[in-house]
Structure 1
Amino acid sequence: MDYIFFYLALSLIIMHEIDAVRCKEWRIFPGLASLGDKVGYIIFLFGHLPLFVWALWYLNQSENPDNFIIGFSQFCILHIGLHLLFYKHKYNEFKDWISWSLIVGAGLAGLFQLIWMSSC
């Protein structure tokens, strides 16, 4: 139970990345946008593979995953700010309640995880 909010945040971020493919998030990233949809999509999609492999490997192999969980929780909060920063980008398609529920939900779960860990 110590990491319940972390697992919620992680699940919401994974769901967000699925939604990011639907919303063609690579169009927002400097560099990827200029490569066109096909190449941008491929780099965006397969660029997540090392991130997910590393995170899952680290969580499985680490005797104490607290530093990773703290950093990931902080990222989830910062991630809301990044989406707010790019909200008016002409290619931003994260406009509906589903997308924002995932983004904000992950950030709130990250915040609750940090609060939980600091109170223990």
Structure 2
Amino acid sequence: MSATPQPLWLRALFLLGVSLLFTHELDAMTHSEWRVLPLTSWLEPETGRVVFVVLHVPLFALVLGWLTSQLPARVLKAQFWVSVFLVVHAGLHVAFSGQPHYTFAGMLSNTLIFGAAVCGAGYLVGNYVVRRD
């Protein structure tokens, strides 16, 4: 991955995807997402909620640190892997959608989840096209 400047539209697409994901995490609190995830679903609901919230603090710190690195090549690598995650994350939601505690059925929830995936996929394709030229 080269350190050439990224087109504004590509960076904007990536940032929109990350914003949709972060906003989804707010929405996830209203849907008790910890009751669906294998790592937290076995916990008592209140304990699961606390673990879910607390684990997001270092996770967000690591992702934000990676995305704001002073090393341009590291930022591009972070954008690539976060974009991959946006797509995988939507796939996980599809996989978990049959569980009894899964309640992400509304327009807002699905727009946040799958909009982030579209942005992630768009970033990956756009980045490939830009780097190829």
Q: TM-score range with shorter-chain normalisation? A: over 0.9
Structure 2: segments with no counterpart, 5+ residues: 1-7
Aligned to 1:81: 91
Partner of 1:115: 125
Secondary structure of residue in 1 paired with 2:80 = helix
- TM-score normalised over the length of structure 2: 0.86
* 1:85-104 paired onto structure 2 within 5 Å: 85-104=95-114
Q: Where has structure 1 moved over 3 Å in runs of 4 or more? A: none
| 1:2-27 Cα deviation digits (max 9, x unpaired) | 41111001100000000000000000
The residue type paired with residue 17 of structure 1 is E
1:44 equivalent among 45, 52, 55? 52
How many residue pairs get aligned? The number is: 120
Q: What is the root-mean-square deviation in Å for CA atoms of aligned residues? A: 1.0
The runs of 5 or more residues in structure 1 that have no matched partner are none
Deviates more, 1:9-18 or 1:59-68: 59-68
- Is 1:27 the counterpart of 2:63 in the alignment? no
* Residue correspondence of structure 1 range 6-17 to structure 2 within 5 A: 6-17=14-25
Matched with 1:70 is 80
Shift in Å, 1:62: 3.7
Matched, 1:105 2:94: no
Deviation for aligned residue 1:31: 4.0
- Could you say which structure has the larger radius of gyration? 2
Q: Is residue 55 of structure 1 aligned with residue 76 of structure 2?
A: no
Q: Which amino acid aligns with 1:108?
A: V
**Equivalents in 1 of 2:121, 2:42: separation in Å?**
34
